Structure 1
């Protein structure tokens, strides 16, 4: 994870030498699928993210194997059959915060993030609403959005298609601090 964070910061620093970088080392990401047959939810608490406050560039990266399920068999099927974690070990988002935010001013700001989400080796453009709460030397970002499995070439076998929703709700929470 340290290597991922270093790569993020290096990428963002290249866009402006005097840019201020805020980082989050423990991004929480969860997803939820609901059908009449079964609910499926999983959570990861080990993602990484960074924001360049000068350019509004934002990036997230999550190791797919870091998602934990209530049922171990679901976790195994997720990694082996659906997301294929051996072949696609990470999912990431690269984009921008649309609104101009002054990170030096505490407050709660509605934000829109627009960019490219890569899951299962397929990249698709997304736009999501969220919130950014700045309190001095910390900023908490939250967002939720829907992802269609078909958009990322994730195939669900017909034998279990009634157990897995076609659209999955993704929730993200990241607590940032300025890079010192």
Structure 2
């Protein structure tokens, strides 16, 4: 039911927009990676919703925190219950703009993406480079950026402080298809 609400919210956003060139995916990919001397931690989420309006460059991304998959079930449990508190903060969102997207042509180019990342009930302005690929009517966005755990008020217990990096790398690949109204 919750996933249905998310999809409906994104579809509402698309339909109320005046732009004609919209791209959508509900199978985007986001991962995060924490590296320390003690341990590497990686989690993948392949249920990421994203909408792009190529006439304005506007982008909206949403994912469920519980959809992150870890190699170890215990890590996944600790992530959801102790760190991001996904029962209390179930979603992460990004709302922003992709610069120079109005000049979109077939092929690849790099540009900047800026916006507000909301995780764990805290907002942070994020800016990073993104590779934009327009190929066979698909719009693919790939990139990565670093986030500070402390910026999102995520508490790391001292007993595992050496196991979890203070700075986490977030990577994404969003393969959008044209949205047909």
Question: TM-score normalized by structure 2?
Answer: 0.94
Structure-2 separation of matches of 1:131 and 1:144: 10
RMSD of aligned C-alpha atoms?
1.3
Structure-2 separation of matches of 1:75 and 1:108: 35
1:72 offset after TM fit, Å? 0.5
SS of the equivalent of 1:115 reads strand
The aligned runs of 1:30-49 (5 Å cut-off) are: 30-49=31-50
> Where does the alignment leave 5 or more consecutive residues of structure 1 unmatched?
none
Contact residue 9 and residue 21 of structure 1 kept, 8 A: no
Match of 2:7 in 1: 5
1:38 offset after TM fit, Å? 0.5
Structure-1 separation of matches of 2:4 and 2:20: 21
1:143 offset after TM fit, Å? 1.1
Structure-1 separation of matches of 2:42 and 2:95: 24
Structure-2 separation of matches of 1:23 and 1:54: 14
Question: TM-score normalized by structure 1?
Answer: 0.94
1:12 offset after TM fit, Å? 4.1
Match of 1:73 in 2: 74
Tell me the alpha carbon deviations over residues 72-125 of structure 1, each in whole angstroms, 9 at most, x when there is no partner. 00000000000000000010100000123434x211010211000000010110
Structure-2 separation of matches of 1:153 and 1:39: 21
